[in-house]
């Protein structure tokens, strides 16, 4: 195999190393927490907290109703047991009972409103939990795919690196240096020759250069310095 063909193969390997290396970097950056999952977890936790607060309010309201009801019962017993005869005192007692009944009815309205909010929030929590479960399942699957991809890419890269070392061992180090130097400047060191043109710079090549390149000798394009390769 001519040295130019070896350099061309080296370049193919370098290109594959680069594209697979980029793919690996991209996949690796996607590993880890997913912002959507994190956000959904935070939202669900704040809904749970809201529910706890509502239940606490509900309990307070129920205690208040119980308290008022027992006060009303006591006062009503006093009103009807016949021990109080004074009409003014009886009227005052009735007035106090009416006031407590109004307050109790307000507390019952409040308790009902809180109960509705509890039901509403429990519904929200069920929806949010399902959404989180779906997101977590999707995320887990995505992470599994990513892990598989990463393992495959690492194998590909290690195979390519081995091939690269094998080819490098066969090429004169000075020529490898030349290849690396042009690669650094131009991105690709080897250019195919196509219809008498260097495909690196699109300049038509002199016949003498074409002939030497065709024979497999190492010839650099007189215009862009790339190493010319006949496929
Ligand atoms: Zn050129």
CA distance 5 to 11: 10
Whether residue 33 has pLDDT greater than 90? no
pLDDT, one tens digit per residue, over 164-181 is 999 999 999 999 999 999
Q: What's residue 7's pLDDT?
A: 97
pLDDT, one tens digit per residue, over 53-106 is 999 999 999 999 999 999 999 999 999 998 999 999 999 999 999 999 999 999
CA of 226 to the centre of ligand 1 (A): 6
Rg, Å, the chain Cα set: 42
CA of 143 to the centre of ligand 1 (A): 45
CA of 223 to the centre of ligand 1 (A): 5
Give the pLDDT band (50/70/90) at residue 231: confident
CA of 93 to the centre of ligand 1 (A): 110
CA of 58 to the centre of ligand 1 (A): 83
- For residue 85, the SS3 value is coil
Mean of per-residue pLDDT scores for the chain: 95
Whether residue 27 has pLDDT greater than 90? yes
CA distances to 51, 65, 116 from 78, in Å: 41, 20, 36
CA of 200 to the centre of ligand 1 (A): 5
CA of 182 to the centre of ligand 1 (A): 12
**pTM across the whole model:** 0.71
pLDDT, one tens digit per residue, over 145-159 is 999 999 999 999 999
For a pLDDT cut of 70, what percent of the chain falls above it? 100
CA of 188 to the centre of ligand 1 (A): 11
Give the pLDDT band (50/70/90) at residue 28: very high
CA of 43 to the centre of ligand 1 (A): 60
Cα angle for residues 180, 181, 184 (degrees, 5° grid): 85
CA of 185 to the centre of ligand 1 (A): 13
CA of 171 to the centre of ligand 1 (A): 22
Beta strands 227-229 and 190-194, pairing class: parallel
Find all residues with CB under 8 Å of 50, minimum gap 6, and list them.
121
For ion ligand 1, residues whose CB falls within 5 Å: 198, 200-201, 221, 223-224
CA of 161 to the centre of ligand 1 (A): 28
Average pLDDT value for residue range 216-227: 94
CA of 191 to the centre of ligand 1 (A): 7
CA of 20 to the centre of ligand 1 (A): 27
pLDDT, one tens digit per residue, over 41-52 is 999 999 999 999
């Amino acid at each position: 195999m001519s040295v130019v063909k070896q350099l061309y193969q080296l370049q193919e390997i370098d290109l594959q190393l680069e594209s697979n290396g980029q793919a690996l970097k991209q996949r690796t950056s996607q590993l880890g927490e997913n912002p959507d999952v994190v956000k959904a977890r935070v939202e669900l936790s704040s809904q749970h907290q809201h529910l706890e607060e509502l239940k606490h309010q509900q309990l307070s309201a129920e205690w208040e109703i119980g308290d008022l009801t027992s006060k009303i019962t006591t006062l009503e017993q006093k009103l009807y047991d016949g021990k109080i005869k004074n009409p003014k005192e009886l009227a005052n007692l009735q007035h106090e009972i009416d006031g407590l009944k109004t307050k109790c009815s307000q507390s019952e309205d409040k308790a009902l409103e809180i109960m509705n909010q509890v039901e509403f929030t429990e519904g929200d929590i069920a929806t949010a939990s399902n959404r989180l479960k779906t997101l977590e399942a999707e995320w887990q699957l995505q992470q599994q795919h990513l892990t598989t991809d990463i393992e495959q890419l690492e194998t590909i890269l290690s195979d390519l690196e081995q091939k690269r070392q094998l080819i490098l061992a066969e090429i004169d180090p000075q020529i490898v240096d030349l290849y690396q130097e042009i690669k650094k400047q131009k991105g690709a060191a080897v250019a195919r020759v196509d219809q008498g043109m260097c495909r690196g710079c699109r300049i038509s090549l002199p016949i003498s250069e074409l002939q030497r390149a065709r024979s497999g000798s190492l010839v650099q394009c007189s215009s862009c310095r790339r190493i010319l390769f006949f496929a």
